[in-house]
């Protein structure tokens, strides 16, 4: 073996899990952002001022929901491929919330197709859209909370109970994520809706922002209390300086969003909302890294064989930019929500 | 262990959710390809009728595709929720295959579906055609990867087993193009095309019988039959080759399918029987002597292994494979006969006026779905007790979840899928009844200015 190939053989198992953790983090972030505004619309659906507004809300996302949801599939499939041990521990541990999430996604997904075909049962598909979106959002939030709490593992298998995931902490993360999704969807509507609906969305965004800001403060206190390791990481003197941009930028984003709402800006609220999500996400990564199953299993321990990760990387590196490209094109072409008139 | 067995329940749940799911890809793989052909014909000839038919069927496609997507997401999570040991031990192999399906197929479909459904008036014609092509390509690529993963689990190669029991890949080419993959893939894609062709031509025949949308109905029936007439016989050949391959790699499955208990060189072809596991013999058997050996081995006295030559704990229960196989093959022969009859009538110039044949085509329109389901039951029950053939038992692949959780999730899936399926079939039926090239009646309480935006709601 040449020295160079020996180096590769030693380096790949170190670097590939990092690369895949980054790719999956990107996939999950894109899902949270795109699926977030998408599900948030469903949560807001029953509260919308009028029938017309509900139609407009649904129309604004109808061409995109399938693509948005595909990031969730990549998150799941990618986890299986890149970190099979994490996948095989987490999914049984999260059996109940994940099944409920899937059922919610089914009901709200088919509502896009069924709702406009029905006049007698339109109320039922409205309910399916709103209820399914709300359940899916809550279960995703609960899942994140359960993930932060960690899972009982024995011999590489989940060894806890069916309801381990459900705690006060995960119940609060469920509501927190729901409020975050509502904030994103209010930002989405501010970009896309007509004036009357936009006015309403500014009001929603303000309330959601207050809730989100309170949740962020709460979790900044609660999460370190949950794991001493997390507290040590954030509050050791050197790290405090290194990581202080995260809370400071989060505060700046909250203020920016508040001003954006006050000044009735069109695009800033969504972008500030996305920034808040991004920063919370980075904060979470700082807390948990390098664990993929807190508090015991690291990304290196859970990683698939280097050969499997490499094989996928050959595809992911060229394909992800192409995917992002045609997704952007589709958003560009279909940005203005389609009107009935175009079809008559 | 409690009374609720998570293994049995997880198998029931997987069977239910995958059976529900496969109905929709079976239809949309062929439908997307057909829509692509219709758009190409429209671009080439400029005839409005092709645009009318393609617009109409795009709406039906949208409903079916949506149901396929939402039921497909479930599958990608069930590998973990219910079969976590399969994921842990086989993740190195099947994980990348499924991820490539997401990266090369799901995103392609989802990214261009929006343009296909909503972009007709917003992009140049060729871009819309391109989007349709990409969606069609996505459905076929998706079939490629999922069939590769499934086939690898049936006929694994290109792997090694590490000390901790985890499977590692030694050769990706061997994994992807494993021995049964070419047969399974072509068999499934041909099945999907036939399924679509029977739906399309059946509905075309229905329009002709009803004297509605006649020109559209004729094109549907004609295009459907022109595929069926050669593809149905070809499917028989592919299926036969697939059978030879299975006999080589999964002999216990073939023994179950044929209800053969003894190993013999003069194996009969069992037409009907009740395979009895307790007595290891067939009850009420009706069989043709020697024909089994000929069909299975293509030799007069080829040796056919019987179930008894396998240890009891390595045999599938033959009842479901035996009957499912006969249903599938029976439908295959009906399809060939209908294709042949249709071709003869067409040559005689009586295709569109022979009412008994048109009625037969209407009745035959759901046959493809039944055959696809029956075929998958053969493949999946016939490989038991293995989830990865010869390497990992289904019983060892199940997740550490309590039976109560799985029982509850089955109940919820049955309820939700029941509602979704019923509604989906109803709305697709409504679209079919409305017919192509028609402006739909304005719903009574429709909102005046900006009604429906879901693609299928628009004319």
* pLDDT 10s digits, B389-410: 999 999 999 999 999 999 999 9
**Domain membership flag for residue A29:** yes
Q: Which residue of B72, B169, B405 is in closest CB contact with A162?
A: B405
Q: With an 8 Å Cβ cutoff, is A84 touching chain B?
A: yes
The percentage of chain B sitting over the pLDDT mark of 90, rounded to a whole number, equals 76
Q: Alpha carbon of A150 to those of A72, A162, A191, A287: distances in Å?
A: 21, 14, 38, 12
In this complex, how many residue pairs, one in chain A and one in chain B, have their CB atoms less than 8 Å apart? 284
Which residue of A79, A99, A122, A154 is the best one to mutate when testing the B interface, meaning the one whose CB has the most B CBs within 10 A?
Answer: A99
Q: What is the pLDDT of residues B336-380, one digit of tens each?
A: 999 999 999 999 999 999 999 999 999 999 999 999 999 999 999
Contact (CB<8Å) A315/B100:
yes
C-beta atoms of A51 and B447 within 8 A = yes
The residue in chain A having the minimum alpha-carbon distance to the alpha carbon of residue B418 is A107
**Per-residue pLDDT reduced to its tens digit, A201-213:** 999 999 999 999 9
Question: Considering just the CA atoms, what is the radius of gyration of chain A in Å?
Answer: 21
Q: Is residue B72 classed as helix, strand or coil in its secondary structure? A: helix
* Number of domains comprising chain A: 1
Q: How high does pLDDT run on average in chain B?
A: 90
B316-340 mean pLDDT: 95
The confidence band for A289, taking pLDDT boundaries of 50, 70 and 90, is: confident
Instruction: Reply yes or no on whether the pLDDT at B457 is more than 80.
Output: no
H/E element, B270: strand B269-276
- Note whether A19 contacts B: Cβ–Cβ < 8 A: no
Is the residue at A5 inside a domain?
Answer: no
Contacts of A302 in chain B (CB under 8 A): none
Helix (H) or strand (E) holding A37: helix A36-44
Q: What Cα–Cα distance (Å) separates residue B90 from each residue in A156, A268, B101, B149, B314?
A: 14, 46, 17, 11, 20
Residue A137: inside a domain: yes
Chain B positions touching A304 (Cβ under 8 A) are 91-92, 95-96
User: CB–CB of A80 and B168 under 8 A?
Assistant: no
Q: Name the band, by pLDDT with cuts 50, 70 and 90, for residue A2.
A: low
A129 vs A115: CA distance, rounded Å: 9
Band (pLDDT 50/70/90 cuts) for residue B105 is very high
Q: Which residues of B fall within a CB distance of 8 Å from A320? A: 103
Nearest chain B alpha carbon to A62: B454
Which residues of chain A form beta strands (DSSP E)? Answer: 153-154, 157-158, 291-293, 297-298
- Residue B391, classified by CB atoms within 10 Å of its CB into exposed (0-12), middle (13-18) or buried (19+), is middle
Tens of pLDDT, residues A46-101 = 999 988 889 889 989 989 999 999 999 999 999 999 999 999 999 999 999 999 99
What pLDDT is stored for residue B265 in this prediction? 87
Confidence of residue B449 (pLDDT cuts 50, 70, 90): very low
The model carries a pTM of: 0.91
A63 shares contact with chain B (CB less than 8 Å)? yes
Q: Name the pLDDT band for B438 (thresholds 50, 70, 90).
A: low
Residue B202 predicted with pLDDT over 80: yes
CA distances from A138 to A77, A163, A166 (A): 21, 15, 12
pLDDT tens column, B21-49:
999 999 999 999 999 999 999 999 988 89
Local confidence band at A40 (pLDDT 50, 70, 90 cut-offs): very high
**Per-window interface: A 266-325 vs B, CB < 8 A:** 304-305, 307-308, 311-312, 315-316, 319-320, 323
pLDDT tens digits, one per residue of A113-166: 888 888 888 889 999 999 999 999 999 999 999 999 889 999 889 998 999 999
B401·A162 Cβ contact <8 A: yes
State yes or no: pLDDT of B181 exceeds 90: yes
pLDDT at B283: 87
| pLDDT 10s digits, A300-320 | 999 999 999 999 999 999 999
pLDDT of residue B434: 87
CB–CB of A91 and B80 under 8 A? yes
Nearest to A106 among B63, B71, B109 (CB): B71
Question: Which chain B residue has its CA at the smallest distance from A79's CA?
Answer: B95
How many whole angstroms separate alpha carbon A213 and alpha carbon A145?
A: 17
Cβ atoms of B103 and A316 closer than 8 Å: yes
Whether the pLDDT of residue B446 is over 50: the answer is no
Domain of residue A204: give its range: 10-343
Q: Percent of chain B, pLDDT > 70?
A: 95
Q: How many CA atoms does the CB half-sphere of A146 hold within 13 Å?
A: 27
- Residue A119 in any domain: the answer is yes
Average pLDDT, chain A: 90
Residue B151 has pLDDT above 90, yes or no: yes
What span, in angstroms and rounded, lies between the C-alpha atoms of A197 and A203? 10
CA dist B360 and B340 (Å) reads 13
Residue A146: inside a domain, yes or no? yes
Residue A88 lies in a domain: yes
> Does the beta-carbon distance from B456 to A116 stay under 8 Å?
yes
Asked if B84 lies within 8 A of A89 by C-beta distance, the reply is yes
Q: What pLDDT is attached to residue A205? A: 94
State the DSSP H helix or E strand holding residue A211, giving kind and residue range, or none if neither.
helix A195-226
Q: Looking at the domain assignment, is residue A3 inside a domain?
A: no
Asked whether residue A2 is domain-assigned, the answer is no
């Amino acid at each position: 073996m040449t020295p160079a190939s020996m180096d590769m053989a030693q380096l790949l198992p170190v670097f590939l899990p990092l690369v895949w953790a980054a790719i999956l983090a990107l996939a999950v972030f894109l899902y949270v952002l795109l699926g977030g505004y998408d599900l948030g619309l469903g949560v807001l659906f029953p509260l919308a001022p009028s029938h017309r507004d509900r139609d407009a809300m649904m129309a604004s996302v109808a061409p995109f929901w399938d693509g948005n949801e595909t990031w969730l599939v990549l998150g799941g499939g990618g986890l299986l491929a890149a970190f099979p041990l994490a996948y095989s521990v987490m999914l049984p541990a999260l059996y109940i919330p994940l099944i409920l999430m899937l059922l919610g996604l089914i009901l709200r997904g088919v509502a896009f197709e069924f709702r406009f075909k029905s006049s007698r049962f339109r109320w039922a598909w409205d309910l399916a859209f709103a209820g399914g979106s709300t359940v899916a959002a809550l279960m995703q939030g609960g899942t994140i909370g359960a993930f932060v709490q960690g899972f009982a593992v024995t011999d590489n298998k989940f060894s806890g109970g069916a309801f381990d995931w459900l705690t006060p902490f995960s119940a609060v993360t469920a509501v927190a994520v729901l409020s975050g999704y509502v904030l994103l969807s209010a930002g989405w509507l501010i970009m896309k809706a007509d004036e009357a609906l936009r006015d309403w969305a500014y009001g929603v965004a303000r309330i959601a922002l207050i809730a989100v800001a309170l949740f962020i403060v709460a979790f900044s206190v609660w999460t370190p209390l949950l794991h001493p390791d997390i507290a040590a990481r954030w509050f050791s003197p050197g790290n405090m300086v290194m990581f202080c941009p995260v809370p400071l930028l989060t505060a700046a984003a909250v203020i920016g969003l508040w001003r954006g709402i006050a000044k009735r800006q069109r695009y800033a609220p969504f972008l500030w909302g996305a920034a808040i999500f991004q920063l919370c996400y980075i904060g979470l990564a700082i807390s948990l890294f390098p664990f993929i199953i807190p508090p015991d299993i690291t990304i290196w321990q859970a990683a698939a064989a280097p050969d499997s990760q490499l094989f996928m990387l050959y595809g992911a590196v060229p394909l992800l930019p192409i995917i992002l490209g045609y997704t952007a094109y589709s958003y560009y072409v279909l940005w203005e929500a389609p009107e009935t008139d175009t079809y008559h | 262990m409690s009374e609720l067995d998570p293994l049995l329940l997880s198998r029931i749940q997987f069977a239910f959710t995958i059976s529900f799911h496969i109905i929709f890809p079976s239809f949309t793989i062929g439908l997307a390809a057909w829509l692509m052909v219709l758009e190409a014909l429209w671009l080439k000839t400029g005839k409005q009728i092709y645009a009318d038919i393609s617009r109409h069927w795009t709406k039906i496609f949208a409903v079916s595709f949506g149901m396929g997507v939402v039921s497909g997401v479930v599958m990608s999570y069930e590998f973990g929720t219910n079969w976590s040991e399969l994921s842990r031990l086989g993740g190195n192999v099947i994980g990348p295959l499924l991820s490539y399906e997401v990266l090369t197929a799901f995103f392609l479909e989802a990214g261009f579906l929006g343009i296909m459904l909503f972009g007709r008036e917003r992009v140049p014609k060729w871009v819309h055609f391109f989007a349709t092509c990409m969606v069609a390509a996505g459905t076929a690529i998706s079939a490629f990867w999922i069939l590769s993963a499934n086939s690898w689990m049936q006929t694994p190669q290109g792997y090694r087993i590490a000390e901790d029991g985890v499977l590692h890949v030694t050769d990706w080419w061997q994994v992807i193009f494993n021995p049964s993959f070419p047969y399974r893939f072509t068999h499934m894609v041909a099945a999907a095309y036939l399924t679509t062709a029977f739906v399309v031509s059946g509905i075309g025949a229905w329009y002709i019988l009803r004297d509605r949308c006649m020109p559209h109905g004729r094109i549907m029936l004609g295009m459907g039959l022109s595929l069926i007439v050669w593809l149905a016989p070809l499917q028989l050949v592919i299926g036969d080759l697939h059978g030879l391959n299975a006999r080589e790699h999964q002999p216990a499955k073939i023994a179950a399918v044929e209800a053969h208990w003894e190993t013999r060189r003069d194996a009969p072809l069992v037409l009907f029987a009740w395979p009895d596991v307790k007595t290891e013999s067939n009850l009420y058997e009706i069989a043709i002597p020697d024909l089994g050996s000929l069909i299975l081995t293509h030799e007069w006295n080829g040796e056919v292994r019987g179930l008894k030559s396998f240890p009891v704990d390595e045999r599938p229960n033959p009842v479901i494979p035996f009957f499912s196989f006969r249903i599938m093959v029976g439908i295959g022969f009906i399809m060939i006969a209908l294709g042949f009859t249709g071709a003869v009538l067409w040559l005689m110039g009586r295709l569109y006026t022979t009412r008994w044949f048109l009625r037969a085509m209407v009745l035959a329109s759901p046959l493809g779905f039944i055959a696809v389901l029956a075929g998958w039951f053969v493949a999946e029950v016939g490989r038991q007790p293995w989830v990865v053939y010869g390497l990992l038992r289904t019983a060892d692949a199940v997740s550490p979840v309590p039976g109560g959780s799985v029982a509850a999730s089955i109940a919820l899936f049955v309820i939700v899928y029941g509602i979704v399926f019923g509604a989906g079939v109803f709305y697709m039926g409504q679209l079919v009844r409305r017919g192509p090239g028609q402006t739909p009646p304005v719903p009574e309480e429709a909102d005046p200015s900006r009604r429906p935006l879901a693609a299928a709601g628009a004319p």
